[in-house]
Structure 1
Amino acid sequence: MTATERPVASPCVSICALDDDDICTGCQRTVEEITRWSRMTNDERRKVLGLCHERAKASGLVWMLPTKSNN
């Protein structure tokens, strides 16, 4: 991370509950990803956000995904 680069924000949405696979139902992070977040580099955080996106798609949580215009 450069001196001018801001930290990648946490995806936490304050809905903190783990499913049977120990994935947070709010942010889609694993317990390990949540606990390590503050020590991750921005590149690591971006990778985790991508994994969260994939988990949200796989579980049908489309409300978490950015919308695209169909124009």
Structure 2
Amino acid sequence: MNTHRKVISSPCIRNCCLDQAEICLGCFRSLSEIIGWGQADETTRRIILENTSRRRDAYREKYNVYRNSLR
């Protein structure tokens, strides 16, 4: 049985710019999610990634950004 799990990597793309709601427009994490990432367990990291996906989709929809032009 394989007991080694792949660590969930940070979604940071080194293009940090926070909007008025303190959401990074590079990785779409909130400021509190960015700060807490290093201490977050696997379950919390998965929830954060789900949040970023939802925020990215909402951003694309709002600003009519094509899927291939953003990560």
Q: Give the TM-score, by structure 2 length.
A: 0.80
Q: What is the number of equivalent residue pairs in this alignment?
A: 62
More helix by share: 2
Q: Which 5+ residue runs of structure 1 have no aligned equivalent? A: 65-71
Aligned counterparts of 2:21 and 2:55: Cα–Cα separation in 1: 11
The percentage of aligned residue pairs carrying the same residue is: 31
Aligned counterparts of 1:32 and 1:7: Cα–Cα separation in 2: 20
Q: Which 5+ residue runs of structure 2 have no aligned equivalent? A: none
Displacement, 1:56? 0.3
Aligned counterparts, 1:36-47, within 5 A: 36-47=36-47
Aligned counterparts of 2:17 and 2:42: Cα–Cα separation in 1: 25
Match of 2:18 in 1: 18
Hey, which bits of structure 1, 4+ residues long, moved more than 4 A? Answer: none
Aligned counterparts, 1:48-59, within 5 A: 48-59=48-59
Task: Give RMSD over aligned pairs.
Answer: 1.2
Aligned counterparts, 1:52-67, within 5 A: 52-60=52-60, 62=67, 63-64=70-71
Displacement, 1:6? 2.4
Q: Deviations over 1:4-63 (max 9, x none)?
A: 112200000000110111000100000000000010011110110011000000010533
